[in-house]
């Protein structure tokens, strides 16, 4: 049986900074993912586990309708939904973090029992928007650099002849560049500094073109650097970016 799409999973890197201080990138973070379905309209949020024993705290952060940062820490209540009542109505979600690994799958959704934003798999800790809290500058273009990983989670098969692709970038603000090698741990100095040329795939160019990489063996991941480029005095964005990997199995 070939590798399925569900077995090609995107994860965060260890360092996903929210400020311009501190390194960006590093090794794979297999407990957190950068993909989720953003809330479609202003609403409140709830969470629920598939395991009755999950009662650990979880913290959610977002922005309200006025653009203010809001957050709340609340305990899971097992298979009974827990509403983030203090958080209130939010316009977007930025981050969701569980204090310890849950035994069940934790669903984060609009309340009450509304559309699912993401299911955090058992054993993982959360999800977050990459590039959250980035801002444009007055008078100059500003670049931000973040790293994610695409992992082949199949237990036995290799993904042969893989290609990293940009599937969609509606606001035309993001370009990609794979890391130089599989399972790398390279960082950039901070989120406004590009990774070193030796740490990225030749010809070390951020753009929208397809990029071929070496095979991903079973359990192997490849880092992909993402550059967000904000023009001077850019308007606020509530958008998406879709990264894709294709390949072959035998």
The pLDDT tens digits of the residues spanning 171-199 come to 999 999 999 999 999 999 999 999 999 99
Count CA within 13 A, CB hemisphere, residue 189: 4
Q: The tokens of 83 are what?
A: 């509403």
- Give SS3 for 88: coil
3-state secondary structure of 50: coil
Tokens in use for 181? 């090698």
138-177 b/e (C-beta count within 10 Å ≥ 16 → b): eeeebebbbbbbbbbbbeebbbeebebbbeebeeebbbbb
Residue 25 tokens read as: 């990138």
Predicted confidence (pLDDT) per residue in 47-79, tens digit: 999 999 999 999 999 999 999 999 999 999 999
pLDDT at 237: 87
8 A C-beta contact, residue 229 and residue 178: no
Taking residues 146-160, report their average pLDDT. 97
Give the residue-averaged pLDDT of 95-112.
98
31 alpha-carbon distance from chain centroid: 11
State the chain's mean pLDDT as an integer: 97
Mean pLDDT throughout 220-230?
98
pLDDT at site 250: 76
- Written as six digits, the tokens of 50 are 């598939």
pTM: 0.96
Q: Which three-class secondary structure state does DSSP give residue 90?
A: strand
Helices (H) and strands (E) in the chain, counts: 0, 18
Residue 37 near residue 66, CB atoms below 8 Å: no
Could you give all domains of the chain from N- to C-terminal order, each with its CATH number? 5-32+131-248 (2.60.40), 45-128 (no CATH)
Q: Give me the pLDDT at residue 145, please.
A: 98
Q: For residues 123-128, give the mean pLDDT.
A: 98
């Amino acid at each position: 049986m070939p590798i399925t799409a569900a077995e090609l999973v995107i994860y965060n890197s260890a360092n996903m900074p929210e400020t311009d201080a501190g390194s960006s990138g590093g090794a794979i973070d297999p407990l957190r993912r950068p993909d989720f379905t953003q809330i479609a309209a202003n609403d409140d949020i709830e969470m629920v586990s598939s395991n009755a024993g999950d009662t650990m705290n979880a913290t959610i952060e977002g922005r309200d309708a006025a653009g203010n940062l809001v957050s709340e820490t609340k305990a899971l209540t097992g298979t009974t939904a827990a509403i983030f009542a203090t958080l209130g109505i939010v316009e977007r979600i930025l981050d969701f973090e569980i204090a310890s690994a849950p035994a069940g799958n934790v669903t984060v959704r609009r309340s009450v029992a509304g559309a699912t934003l993401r299911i955090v798999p058992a054993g993982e800790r959360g999800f977050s928007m990459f590039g959250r809290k980035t801002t444009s500058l007055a008078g100059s273009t500003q670049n931000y650099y973040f790293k994610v990983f695409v992992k082949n989670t199949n237990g036995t098969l290799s993904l042969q002849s893989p290609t990293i692709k940009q599937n969609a970038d509606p606001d035309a603000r993001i370009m990609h560049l794979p890391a130089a090698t599989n399972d790398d741990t390279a960082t950039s100095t901070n989120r406004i500094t590009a990774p070193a040329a030796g740490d990225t795939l030749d010809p070390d160019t951020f753009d929208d073109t397809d990029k071929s990489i070496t095979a991903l063996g079973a359990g192997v991941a490849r880092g992909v650097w993402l550059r967000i480029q904000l023009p001077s005095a850019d308007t606020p964005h509530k958008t998406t970016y879709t990264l894709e990997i294709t390949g072959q199995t035998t």
